[in-house]
Amino acid sequence: MSKIIKAMLGVCLAAAGGAASAVPFYVTHASLDPQSGYGDEFCESTLICGPSKLDVEFSTSNFSAKAFSLAKVGDKYSFTVGRVKFQEDDAWGLFTTYGITGKELDNLGVSLDLRFAMPGAAVNTVKATGTAYLGKIGDSAVDYKLSWDPLTYGFGQGGSYTISLNTLSFTDTSSSWRDLTATVTLKTNEVPEPGSLALLGLGMLGVGVMRRKAK
């Protein structure tokens, strides 16, 4: 094979291989938005106040901007985006609240907004279902659980990635803050842009012509 043909093949392979290069990511901001079912109520007595808010605290103070790259499909990167603390009272004063009441079970969804500067500027909103379990707090049963639905976002020419978060379960209020960890997984890489495909086609055509002339 002549040097010219080899060079043209190199150009073609470079054009095709460029589509599979590492994808850069830059996450600049994170914020948590709990629904109206959460709140810190001074009085938790069912006999006096009738509590209707579940006492769970959310924070993103432990988040910092992240820059990373994913080279191939299936590669992933995990980082801390926030933290959660379950602090519902089991009693107040002389009156027992019986733990979590029927009025503290609704509107417990949570949204996490992650702002990406790369690849492609976007604010991705991941949603969670919060579930509180009726009854006493402090036994071995789960009192509150936060489960996240994975989100897939597309970018560029056919590229996509998935954002998933860890599920948190609380069995009492004695535990401290629990970290929320996001994992970004490259689902599909970008395909060549039309210009790259045209370059690839012309290159292969040129290789064919050169081969025929060489015979």
pLDDT confidence of residue 7: 42
Rounded CA-CA distance 131/204 in Å is: 58
How would you write the pLDDT of the chain (215 residues) with one tens digit per residue? 554 444 444 434 444 444 468 999 999 999 999 999 999 866 555 555 666 899 999 999 999 999 999 999 999 999 999 999 998 877 654 555 568 888 899 999 999 999 999 999 999 999 999 999 998 887 788 999 999 999 999 999 899 999 999 999 998 876 689 999 999 999 999 765 554 444 444 444 554 544 555 55
For the chain, domain boundaries: 3-214
- Helix, strand, coil distribution of the chain in percent, nearest 5: 20, 40, 40
- What φ, ψ does residue 183 adopt, rounded to 5°? -125, 120
Please state the pTM of the whole predicted model. 0.76
Q: Scan for tokens 């495909």, then name that residue.
A: 197
Per-residue pLDDT at 197:
43
Contacts of residue 188, defined as CB under 8 A and 6 or more positions apart, other chains included, come to: 73, 158, 159, 160
Per-residue pLDDT reduced to its tens digit, 69-104: 999 999 999 999 999 999 887 765 455 556 888 889
- Inter-CA distances, 11 with 3, 87, 126, 201, Å: 12, 62, 41, 11
